[in-house]
Chains A and B, each alone.
Chain A
Amino acid sequence: MMKKLMLATAVAACAAGSIAQAESLRWARAGDALTLDPHAQNEGPTSALLHQIMEPLVMRDMSGAMVPALATSWAPSEENPNVWVFNLREGVKYHDGADFDSEDVVFSLNRAMTPDSDYKELLASVKEVRAAGPMTVEIETDGPNPIMPNNLTNMFIMDKDWAEANNAVKVQDFEGGEETFAARNANGTGSYKLVSREPDVKTVLTANADYWGSGEFPMQVQDVVFTPIQNQATRIAALLSGEVDFIQDVPVQDLQRVAAASDLKVITAPQNRVIFFGMNQGDDDLAADDVEGKNPLADKRVRMAMNMAINREAIKKVVMRDQSIPAGIAMPPFVNGWTKELDVVPETDNEKAKAMMSEAGYEDGFSIRLDCPNDRYINDEAICQAAVGMLAQIGVKVQLDAKPKAQHFPLISNLETDFYMLGWGVPTYDSEYIFNFLVHTKGEKYGSWNGTRFSNPEIDAKIEALASETALDNRNQMIAEIWQVVQDEQLYIPIHHQVLNWGMSNKIDTIVAPDDAAKFKYFKLN
């Protein structure tokens, strides 16, 4: 009897133990973070991992709304419109126990402005960052910058003393020949501490018991084990077999299988990324077409006809298996400047399109090459293949040239393509970011991704003025005007907004973040 009782107690103890046991979350996605150096790579998976360990002054929550992180409040200075004042959070400690203060912010932002930093463009307007007190920081820009905080949501703060002690003052560079300490070690203020890291193999995090936000966020995930799994089928198999609890980048063809498994679910939300085609409208003649001495894409009617020929619903149904939101504008729906009216999906009307083609003098059509990546966006090559068939209906004979992204993107930067696919995400959630890179005339500082050769000095001036227009109504008015021109000119042919799919065990309770960055402090476990 005694024995039985002891056994029962032991069993009960074990059961209780397993319930009280810290919950760990095994997480997989296609790619690993490239580095832990917070300013070396401005890239999705890198920021997503760093967000667990380090924090910016302000950040985006899982719904995409801007919320306080290391700064508790921020506002433009009353004395000087060129200055933003950030009040920092008191009592925050780094993982090694050091105190967080304004010195660290000044150090980190200056580090992010050095030539080797990947974030310097976002801080291009910054003249000086200074501490106005131990818990106050002032950022002075070369003119009023109304959206300064938007630029800081991935700008991580590191401890100055730690960086100095570990020879990590400089941003990791590729020429030096030595690994920066900060590339594989991290000392942040974030909700999770780095336990171990093998690049491309495994990264282990554990909850930071001294986190300032312990009471504010659920913090139910105790340990995070992150493994990149490149192969789609293996990633899905790992989720189906229960070896991982949470995966990103679920291939669209496997969504049904995951959803059908009794202990798994797929959650979906529009992503902050729009897919579109760009056309060379500026050159006098195109290299990759069969029209001599003329550029058919320079004719607005041709661009509009091509836009009209794309059947976005069909792409959504057939290519994307319903996992896309057809778009009428090259701007993700979260961005300041987006309206329902602008994003109305153009109707597919081949008769009207053909009429416009013959009006423009191309009743027999023309042929052109479409450059497309095949490893960058969801089903990128298949979308292009579908577009080839659709454009053929109005006489535009398209030869598709699909390549890996490492070969595709240089074509756009070097202006070697006349018709190309591009996808764009907007980290600042503001139209200005789109205009700077995609609409402004290509040059040293602006327009580096504008492969359309579109150049309008009036629009350029307006885009540059956006940076320092502080009256928000005025600014929004200007944004609307610029979009009007972009739409009227048919600068781009928008295809769709990508949709994010996260596959996970039923025990996880979360929403999908539009920037694809899961922040585990928000995760709840059932």
Chain B
Amino acid sequence: MLAYVIRRVFQSIIVLLVVGLVAFSMFRFVGDPIDNMLGQERTDADIDRLRTQLGLDQPFPVQYVKFLKGAAEGNFGVSFRQGRPVATIIAERLPATLELAAVSGLLAIVLGVALGVLTAIYRDGIASNIVMTLSLIGVSLPTFLIGILLIYLFSVELNWLPSFGRGDVVQVGFWSTGFLTASGLKALILPSITLGLYQMTLIMRLVRSEMLEVLRQEYIRFARARGLRDKSVHFRHALKNTLVPVITVTGLQLGAIIAFAIITETVFQWPGVGLLFINAIQFVDIPVMAAYLMLISVMFVGINLIVDLLYYAIDPRLHSDKSAKAH
């Protein structure tokens, strides 16, 4: 077990380094930050001076090594756009994204699993068919369109919910939270539905098909024959056995929720790291782009690791394999 973890961590570090290298090799294609940093009145001499000062005249591997050195010391540099340390900016913005992702994730899991189970049990019911049809919309409509539609309906037409921003936030230590104010909670509703809808429908369809599969199994029939109550059969025996693939997919989807919050954050002007990243791309703010990409890859790698370990904990076959070997 320990050897497995160490091996995985080692692999993860290599993945991170490669991601960083690829990212740095691509920054040059995003554009030149110098023009944005100097105003319209800059001279060619200014351009050269700033380029040298920032080290942008050096080849990208050199810039990358410089970034890694700084990152190892916890220094991610200074944003070209805001002129402030990148670590500070990300720390300020991260709570917004994490709160949004947490609410969306929770929504996706709870509703996804519940609807998945229900549509599997009542597979021929009218309600199930309606839910299944509607879920197609969730899978096929792009996020930004869902966001705009929700804004149009609930903000412009009905005037119930805010169309942008986080509402009022409360500062708890370094963490700014929108959970503690009415306007903060209201502001969460539309973005979290937008962000979580795709994941919700995905989980729902997955749970449903796994559940249908399991319900056909012999042992479920035996359980029914034994006269167990439906509730016990569905939730104790069937649902538990559908969870292994569901957890794998859900874990990866949680990473995706944070990474793809970019679009939702742009539509709702949600002040999280995704919006920060979009701004950074437009301005060619290399330090922010680099730090964000590293953050996202650390997160994905970390989630993968946790999912693998969970898999190990949940799937009893992995344990029995081991005990079988011991014989």
**What residues make up the interface of A, taking CB atoms closer than 8 Å to B?**
34-35, 37, 40-43, 115, 118-119, 121-122, 172-180, 183-184, 198-202, 227-231, 233-234, 237-238, 240-243, 375, 403-407, 409-410, 413, 425, 437, 442-445, 448-449
Tell me how far the C-beta of A285 lies from the nearest C-beta in chain B, rounded to whole angstroms. Answer: 24
* Residues of chain B contacted by A43 (CB below 8 angstroms): 39
B-chain residues with CB within 8 Å of residue A243 when the two chains form the complex: 155, 162-164
B32 and A241 contact, CB distance less than 8 A: no
Q: Which of B76-84, B197-205, B210-218, B239-247 contacts A (4 or more CB under 8 A)?
A: B76-84
- Chain B residues with Cβ below 8 Å from A174 are 37, 50, 53-54, 78, 80, 83
B129 in the interface, Cβ–Cβ < 8 Å?
no
Chain B proximity of A403: nearest CB distance (Å): 8
Q: Once bound together, how far apart are the Cα atoms of A233 and B145, in whole Å?
A: 11
One of B44, B84, B85, B275 near A448 (C-beta < 8 A): B44
Nearest A residue (CB) for B279: A200
A313-B62 Cα distance, complex, nearest whole Å: 51
On whether the beta carbons of A410 and B43 are closer than 8 Å, the reply is no
Complex alpha-carbon distance, A469 and B111, angstroms: 75
Q: State whether the Cβ of B284 lies closer than 8 Å to any Cβ in chain A.
A: yes
Q: Which of B30, B47, B50, B152 contacts A413 (CB 8 A)?
A: B47
Given contacts A234-B163, A240-B156, A241-B155, contact A404 B31 (CB under 8 A): yes
Chain A residues, CB < 8 A from B177: none
* B83 pairs with A172, CB closer than 8 A: yes
Contact A34 B81 (CB under 8 A): yes
Given A115-B49, A174-B83: A237 and B31 within 8 A (CB)? no
Q: Which of A42, A173, A230, A413 contacts B41 (CB 8 A)?
A: A42
B164 touches A229 (CB 8 A): yes
B159 at the A interface (CB under 8 A): yes
Closest to A118 in B: B39
Contact A406 B283 (CB under 8 A): yes
Q: Which residues of B contact A227 (CB under 8 A)?
A: 164-165, 269
Q: For A425, give the chain B residue with the smallest CB separation.
A: B40
Contact A241–B156 (Cβ < 8 Å):
yes
In the complex, how many residues of chain B place their beta carbon closer than 8 angstroms to a beta carbon of chain A? 57
Residue B276 at the A interface, CB < 8 A? yes
B residues near A (Cβ < 8 Å) are 29-45, 47, 49-50, 53-54, 75, 77-78, 80-85, 88-89, 92, 148, 151-152, 155-156, 159, 162-166, 266-269, 271, 275-276, 278-279, 282-284
How far, in whole Å, are A180 and B164 apart by their CA atoms in the complex? 30
Known A115-B49, A237-B151, A406-B32; 10 more pairs at CB < 8 Å: A35-B82, A37-B83, A177-B78, A183-B83, A199-B89, A234-B151, A237-B148, A237-B163, A409-B35, A448-B43
Give the distance in Å from the alpha carbon of A405 to the alpha carbon of B39 in the complex: 13
Which residues on the B side are within 8 Å of A443 (C-beta)? 44
What chain B residues lie within 8 Å of A445 (beta carbons)?
Answer: 43
Chain A residues whose CB sits within 8 angstroms of the CB of B165 once the complex forms: 201-202, 227
Chain A nearest CB, measured from B72 CB (Å): 16
Chain B residues with CB below 8 A from A41, complex form: 39
Q: What is the chain A residue whose CB lies nearest that of B50?
A: A174
Which residue of the partner chain A has the closest CB to B70?
Answer: A177
Given the contacts A404-B31, A406-B30, A448-B43, A177 and B269 also touching, CB distance less than 8 Å: no
Query: Given the known A-B contacts A199-B82, A242-B159, A444-B44, are A407 and B32 also in contact in the complex, defined by CB atoms under 8 Å?
Result: yes
